Amino acid sequence: MGETVRLQKYIAMSGAASRRAAETMINDGRVKVNGKKITEQGVKVEIGADNVSLDGKPLKIKNKKYYIMLNKPAGYVSTVKDQFDRPTVVDIIKNDIEDVRIFPVGRLDYETEGLLLLTNDGEFTNKVTHPKFHMDKTYIATIKGGISIGGINKLRSGVYIDDFKTSPAQAEILDAADGRTTVKITIHEGKNRQVRKMFEAVGCTVVGLKRIKIGTVELGNLPVGRWRHLTSHEVNYLMNS
Ligand code: URA
């Protein structure tokens, strides 16, 4: 579901008129939504999905910035298009938001689930993916078998992956049952497959990985495969961190 706004706001966002002037245009019967003339105020339209026209000419919203949080399912690539034609995270949202080039901000592995940001704002992407953007990222890792306290302590103090020593991480065991252990781990770097490699470095195999938090922005109870717009508070926080 795309963002829904009142018709007069949509007209103002398209740049065709101020909100006040848009109300007059609606009163005068000059505005149609999906081919139907609308003369009452306050009708809601969905950006990217409903067709709004003024005097018969389509009104598009240009330069609108989208900031999205997706609960990425496993089995999707974090790119716009995949060379092997696997499903992409953009496939999930492109039916809801048409005609806008939205791309993932950073990436999660093909098999990893959870919190992925997407946007059409290059500046936002640059900020959030910049190596200096040391924001904590929290994951729930499910590993095969168990992990010793020694292993947890090594994750906490830093391990070597590909000649790189990871900075101190937060790690705690959440649960252990049926031959699997779940560990909550927070890191602030973003090396390729970092969490999986960190567990490998302490002799553990990750069989499930989900990102639940970036800084203070949380996935919460957003179902797998669903997305929502970030709140303006979340966008400002990420932009200004
Ligand atoms: N670490 C990983 O190993 N995989 C991810 O997708 C993200 C962090």
pLDDT at residue 148 in the model: 96
Which amino acid would we find at residue 237?
A: Y
CA-only gyration radius of the chain, Å: 22
The model's pLDDT over 136-183, given as tens digits with 9 standing for 90+, comes to: 999 999 999 999 999 999 999 999 998 899 999 999 999 999 999 999
CA of 204 to the centre of ligand 1 (A): 15
Give the largest CA-CA distance in the chain.
74
Q: Which residues lie across from 6 on neighbouring strands?
A: 44
Atom number of ligand 1 nearest to Cα 187 = 8
Secondary structure of residue 169 in the 3-state scheme: coil
pLDDT at residue 28 in the model: 96
Q: What is the mean pLDDT of the segment spanning 206-216?
A: 97
Residue among 209, 210, 211 whose CB has most ligand 1 atoms within 8 A, to mutate? 209
Q: What is the pTM of this model?
A: 0.81
Q: Which residues lie across from 194 on neighbouring strands?
A: none
Q: What is the DSSP string of 71-83?
A: EEPTT-BSSSS-T
CA of 110 to the centre of ligand 1 (A): 9
pLDDT at residue 17 in the model: 85
Helix (H) or strand (E) run with residue 129 in it: helix 122-129
Q: 48 near 101, Cβ under 8 Å?
A: no
Secondary structure of residue 12 in the 3-state scheme: helix
Q: Catalytic site residue 109? A: yes
Residue 152 and residue 65: Cα distance in Å, rounded? 41
User: What residues does ligand 1 touch, defined as CB less than 6 Å away?
Assistant: 108-109, 112, 193-196, 209
Residue among 113, 117, 139, 212 whose CB has most ligand 1 atoms within 8 A, to mutate? 139
pLDDT at residue 186 in the model: 98
Q: What is the mean pLDDT of the segment spanning 201-207?
A: 98
Arithmetic mean of pLDDT over the chain? 93
Query: For residue 1, is pLDDT > 80?
Result: no
Give residue 2's pLDDT band: very low, low, confident or very high (50, 70, 90): low
Residue 119 and residue 150: Cα distance in Å, rounded? 40
Q: What residue's CA is closest to ligand 1, atom 2?
A: 193
The residues, ordered by sequence, that sit 6+ positions from 77 with a Cβ below 8 Å of its Cβ are: 86, 87, 88, 89, 110
Q: How far is CA 124 from CA 133, 175, 241, in A?
A: 11, 36, 11
Query: For residue 100, is pLDDT > 90?
Result: no
Residue 185 and residue 193: Cα distance in Å, rounded? 14
Give residue 19's pLDDT band: very low, low, confident or very high (50, 70, 90): confident
The model's pLDDT over 48-75, given as tens digits with 9 standing for 90+, comes to: 889 999 999 999 887 788 999 999 999 9
